[in-house]
Amino acid sequence: MTSQQLWDLISHIGLPILFVVILVGLIIELVRVQQLSGKLRYSDEQKAARQSQLQEAYTKQDELLKQIHVLQVEMDDLEQTRTIMTDETTGLPNYHAVMSRIDAELARCARTQNACAILFIHLDSFKRINDTWGQEAGDVILLEASSRLLRHIRAEDFLGHYGREDFALLLVEMDLAGAVQAAERLRLEIGSSSYSWSVDESSPPTTLEITASIGVALYGLHGTTRDALLQHSAAAMLRARKDGRNRVRMADLSESQPIATESEESGAEEAIILSTLTAAHPQAMEKQAYRLVTLAEETAREIGCSEQEVHLIRLSALLHDVGKLGIPDAILDKSGPLTTEEWEVMRLHPQIGQRILSQAGGIFATLAHVIVAHHERWDGKGYPLGLSQHDIPVEARILAVVDSFDAMTSPRPYREPTSIEEARNELLRCAGSQFDPEIVIAFLRVLNRSLSPGGVVSEAPSQASLSSR
């Protein structure tokens, strides 16, 4: 189109329409520019958001790296602690770990009044094997012995390598009878089969025999501190070795103790034994009474026993029913008379007590022959051995009289207590058949004195008295 033609067209349609066309074009261009500007702004916002997200990620990464570093340091510390507290040969906790764990358990026992026991385990003949075959053979023995011990303890117990051929085992929530039984079980396991050792792969294996001597110490009975319990358990272990090795011994109250007067020893032993019975078996404590002990002690003096014999009788009175720790609670706590079968079980308690005290050794072994005989009769019709008259230890004859009196005058769930007069008459009736008549007369003299003002016995018997079952 020529300029002339364009001009003619403009002249024809008019200037207003031309302005409209130009305005529309400008508007369209303006919209396009705005769209492009919006896209640019959106792109900038995205970039800023991405930069913010990236910065946040960098910050989190730094925090994670710091946490990883802290964890790595803690893991290194734990590994270092584990290495410090672990025996390289056996993989068991070492001496330092044992000391720490015992301290923690004793603190818990002090708070909760619970009982625990320490077993000091020594591998017999280990030094000879180690010297003969070398340290490698000794290490093999230690590793196998550790494995056997670990397989036969509870998850809550704590076994550690105390020294070259010695182990320490902490038994938590454990009473006297249970500790001795556990020690005996472990002793049998250590020597249950031979140990095998070969110098090298081409050499035939050598059979090595290992046994264990074990000492037992109980919290409360033998002390309340780590040092006292370890000293007592170690002393008991040494006594087991001295007695022939491959056996269990419970710590003697006289071992590793400061020198004391006879009266101090008597009072301390009495308090310790009562404390231990309470912790080990609450039902047993319900059947204990100072009254019975005092009457037995005074009756012994009445027939002319020495003070040393009186002391033994006092301890016998405290421990004469220790065998009931091995009798089921269902029988001990039964509210009615026992059946024939239950009586058969109950009559095992003198022999159980004898075994417990014999295993303990020391002064307890001395008491064992009394404990087993305290249900024998003067006429030979008692149990478990059928002893008669003076074949029955005098301590057991005294206990039979005092225990029967205490049982008769004490309340039972299935009967009312008899009066003191009725009990006195029953003792006289059975003198010469069930009881030693001389001891019955001596006991009644003591009883008469005790019933006078200031005496030790009252018509209302103690509910903590001992059962004659």
Per-residue pLDDT reduced to its tens digit, 130-154: 888 888 888 999 999 999 999 999 9
Q: What is the CA radius of gyration of the chain?
A: 43
Highest mean pLDDT among 117-126, 346-355, 443-452: 117-126
**Which one, of 422, 394, 403, 374, lies nearest residue 468 by Cα?**
403
Q: Encode pLDDT of 206-263 as tens digits.
A: 888 899 999 999 998 888 899 889 989 999 999 999 989 999 998 876 554 433 334 4
> How confident is the model at residue 401, as a pLDDT?
94
DSSP 93: B
> How confident is the model at residue 172, as a pLDDT?
95
Same structural domain for residues 199 and 144?
yes
Of 83, 115, 131, which residue sits at a domain end?
83
Mean pLDDT of the 443-458 span? 71
Q: What is the mean pLDDT of the chain?
A: 79
Residue with tokens 């070795």: 241
SS (H, E, C) 255-309: CCCCCCCHHHHHHHHHHHHHHHHHHHCHHHHHCCCHHHHHHHHHHHHHCCCCHHH
In the chain, what percentage of residues exceed pLDDT 90?
A: 30
Q: CB 2: neighbour CB atoms within 10 A?
A: 7
With a cut of 70, say whether residue 281 has pLDDT above it: no
**Between 64 and 246, where is the model more confident?**
246
Same structural domain for residues 178 and 242?
yes
In the chain, what percentage of residues exceed pLDDT 70?
A: 75
Same structural domain for residues 241 and 269?
no
Whether 433 maps to a domain, the answer reads yes
In whole angstroms, give the CA distance from residue 173 to residue 116: 5
> How confident is the model at residue 434, as a pLDDT?
94
With a cut of 70, say whether residue 453 has pLDDT above it: no
Domain that holds residue 106: 95-250
Q: Which residues pair with 195 in a beta bridge?
A: 208
**Between 243 and 71, where is the model more confident?**
243
CA distances, 57 to each of 10, 49, 68, 249, 365 (Å): 65, 12, 16, 67, 76
Q: Encode pLDDT of 375-397 as tens digits.
A: 999 999 999 999 999 989 999 99
pTM: 0.47
Whether 465 maps to a domain, the answer reads no
In whole angstroms, give the CA distance from residue 167 to residue 122: 7
Same structural domain for residues 357 and 429?
yes
Q: How many domains is the chain built from?
A: 3
Mean pLDDT of the 81-102 span? 83
CATH of the domain at 213: 3.30.70.270
Q: Cα–chain-centroid distance for residue 177?
A: 12
Same structural domain for residues 228 and 272?
no
Same structural domain for residues 68 and 117?
no
Same structural domain for residues 245 and 283?
no
Same structural domain for residues 100 and 224?
yes
Q: How far apart are the first and last CA of the chain?
A: 139
Same structural domain for residues 352 and 426?
yes
Same structural domain for residues 140 and 222?
yes
